[in-house]
Amino acid sequence: MRTIKNWLTDMDGVLIHEEKALPGAPEFIDTLRERELSFLVLTNNSIFTQRDLAARLESSGISVPEDNIWTSALATASFLATQSDSRRAYVVGEAGLTTALYEVGFVMTNIKPDFVVLGETRTYSIDALTQAIRLIDEGARFIATNPDVTGPSAEGPIPATGAVAAMITAATGKVPYYVGKPNPIMLRNGLNKIDAHSEETALIGDRMDTDMLAGMEAGLQTHLVLSGSTTRDDIGKFAFRPDYVHEGIGELLDLI
């Protein structure tokens, strides 16, 4: 096993489930902090700001500084800042996304935007989506924070960014560029944020199709935990394999 100095970990299904800390999660984060190891908590959800997510984790008994949280919204803003000088965007999303774009100098506008940026929102407005479709037809580049087609709720699955993006694609014929997992650019931007090298970094996640695929393509050591959406039987359905499989994050304590 190669020497690991940096850790990236998914949040839902790895650290928490339905607002409760999963076994070993508080101890895992506390150990990383005590040993002063670089780490990031990742999420494809673009609704919340770093401050929101830090508070959510804290209420579950997991103490993570805001700067150690990396979302698809932040990754999208970081990426788009390199793609445009005028930094104009029409945004369908909530505070996590609009704040991230604002902080890298973007103006939110429906007048000749460079990009239409789609993220999660609790309520998708038909008027906003109609505006997005028209702007894409007029030449704005179509960006989406992540390809997840559903998200969790107390009542069951709800439509997420990928599902709404599919509707816009059907109306425009334009497929978005997805920045979040499994696009390895989200992980590479995260690695740059903590000044980490892929050879010395491990990724912990609960999904084969996003976490493990992104980690593999970014050259990270991959650890699949079975405390979230993936079962051991599911692993064989994919053409690739994680480096290691664990029942939960508590089993990784001896590795740090």
How many residues does the structure list for the chain?
Answer: 256
Q: How far is CA 12 from CA 46, 227, 236, 237, in A?
A: 13, 9, 22, 22
Query: Of the listed 12, 52, 148, 206, which one is catalytic?
Result: 12
Cα separation, 71 vs 42, whole angstroms? 6
90 within 8 A of 118, measured Cβ to Cβ? no
User: What are the strands, taking DSSP E only, across the chain?
Assistant: 6-10, 16-17, 20-21, 38-43, 69-71, 88-92, 107-108, 115-118, 141-144, 150-151, 158-159, 177-178, 201-205, 221-225, 244-246
* Cβ partners under 8 Å of residue 235, min gap 6: 208, 224, 241, 242, 245
Of 129, 90, 88, whose CA–CA distance to 110 is shortest?
90
Would you say 219 and 8 are in contact if contact means Cβ atoms under 8 Å apart?
Answer: no
For the chain, how far is it from start to end, CA to CA, in angstroms? 12
Indicate if 10 belongs to the active site.
yes
67 in catalytic set: no
Instruction: Round to whole Å and give the CA distance between 94 and 171.
Output: 23
* Catalytic residue positions, numbered: 10, 12
